[in-house]
């Protein structure tokens, strides 16, 4: 059997060596180590049959069944691994670090590839991820009412070599009922958590990490409790942006999408908007009066955000008045200057 690595050693090597996940496509799609390549030993159906054989007949019979499925694929599996390998080296894992990864590591070795197996498999990676989210992250939170340009500020901070964790980018969703417009389909919550870990693990925890103030849910994805709690108790810079500027930003960002998609988004929050307000907002879309719709919707989102803001420790919230739309670069510079003067960074 090829040499096993614990999760810390495995992740350290993963910066340089390709990771091969030999689980089924269904397991891989549910959640995987970011950047890993899926070279499944079994198809979804084959694994189900092997598992059924194990339960109903026994281990030896299940192994024989597995060999029958794997044997015709050995050449193709080896060729796939050879294309992925870097300097003839791979990292390999399955679910628990058992027979699938050991078998594939043996196969790879026969064609001249060196491979290390993750002890405990993907299951050990998931345990590590969940525990990791309880760290004391040095978050600096950008807050503000909907349409304040928080995401643009994060983008500009990143350009200025600041550490940024963009949760909405990782979730493929902007957070509101309209947040899925123009985005790719969201992945599973398990994968969302893995992606957050992967991004955080590349950052220096001795330096500030800028992050946007988020509710627990970003579309269908849910923030890990440790991350959400840390966001709620970290220092927050609240952007006071004029209502009219926020309306302009929403129209600019969303009026480009099909009217039927905008109407569907309004329908999602109609119970909270109230039937009359929802009807007026939808009519505004149909009439091309996107300003009207933005104003109606903002009143709901403002009320919701202020409710969460009022629950924060008032001493951790720093307000800064800013005209965000004309000059994002200047706005970002003001925020950084404000943070330095108040010893936040």
| Active site (catalytic) residues | 94
User: How far is the C-alpha of 334 from the C-alpha of 74, rounded, in Å?
Assistant: 60
Q: Is 95 left (phi over 0), alpha (psi -120 to 50) or beta?
A: alpha
Give per-residue burial for 9-29: e unless 16+ CB within 10 Å, then b: ebbeebeebbbbbbbbeebbe
DSSP code per residue over 304-338: HHHHHHTTS-GGGEEEEE--TTT-HHHHHHHHHHH
- ∠ Cα 229 321 316 (to 5°): 30
The neighbouring-strand residues paired with 140 are 210
User: How far is the C-alpha of 78 from the C-alpha of 83, rounded, in Å?
Assistant: 9
DSSP code per residue over 9-45: HHHHHTTTS-EEE-S-HHHHHH---TT-EE--SS-HH
- Is residue 296 within 8 A of residue 123, CB to CB? The reply is no
User: How far is the C-alpha of 276 from the C-alpha of 274, rounded, in Å?
Assistant: 6
C-alpha distances in angstroms, 239 versus 13, 48, 153, 179, 227? Answer: 41, 53, 10, 20, 22
Give per-residue burial for 48-86: e unless 16+ CB within 10 Å, then b: eebeebbeeeeeeebeebbeebbeebeeebbebbeeebe
Q: Tokens 């000059």 appear where? A: 327
């Amino acid at each position: 059997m090829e040499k096993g690595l614990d999760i810390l050693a495995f992740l350290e090597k993963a910066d340089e060596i390709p990771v091969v996940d030999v689980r089924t496509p269904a397991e891989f799609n549910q959640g995987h180590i970011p950047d890993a390549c899926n070279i499944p030993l079994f198809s979804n159906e084959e694994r189900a049959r092997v598992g059924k054989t194990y339960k109903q007949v026994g281990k030896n019979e299940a192994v024989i069944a597995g060999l029958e499925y794997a044997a015709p694929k050995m050449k193709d599996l080896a060729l796939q691994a050879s294309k992925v390998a870097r300097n003839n080296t791979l990292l390999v894992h399955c679910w628990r670090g058992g027979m699938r990864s050991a078998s594939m590591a043996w196969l790879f070795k026969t064609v001249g590839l060196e491979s290390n197996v993750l002890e405990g498999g993907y299951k050990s990676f998931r345990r590590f991820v969940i525990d990791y989210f309880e760290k004391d992250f040095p978050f600096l939170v950008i807050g503000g009412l909907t349409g304040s340009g928080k995401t643009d500020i994060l983008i500009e901070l990143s350009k200025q070599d600041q550490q940024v964790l963009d949760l909405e980018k990782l979730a493929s969703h902007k957070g509101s009922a309209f947040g899925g417009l123009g985005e790719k389909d969201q992945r599973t919550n398990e994968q969302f958590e893995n992606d957050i870990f992967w991004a955080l693990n590349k950052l220096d925890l001795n330096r500030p990490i800028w992050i946007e103030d988020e509710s627990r849910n970003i579309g269908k994805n849910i923030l890990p409790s440790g991350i959400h709690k840390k966001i709620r108790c970290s220092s927050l810079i609240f952007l006071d942006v004029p209502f009219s500027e926020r309306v302009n930003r929403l129209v600019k960002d969303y009026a480009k999408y099909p009217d039927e998609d905008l109407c569907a988004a309004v329908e999602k929050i109609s119970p909270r908007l109230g039937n009359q307000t929802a009807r007026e907002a939808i009519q505004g879309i149909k009439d091309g009066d996107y300003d009207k719709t933005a104003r109606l919707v903002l009143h709901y989102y403002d009320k919701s955000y202020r409710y969460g803001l009022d629950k924060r420790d008032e001493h951790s919230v720093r307000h800064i008045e800013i005209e965000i739309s004309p000059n994002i670069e200047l706005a970002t510079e003001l925020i950084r200057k404000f943070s330095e003067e108040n010893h936040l960074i």
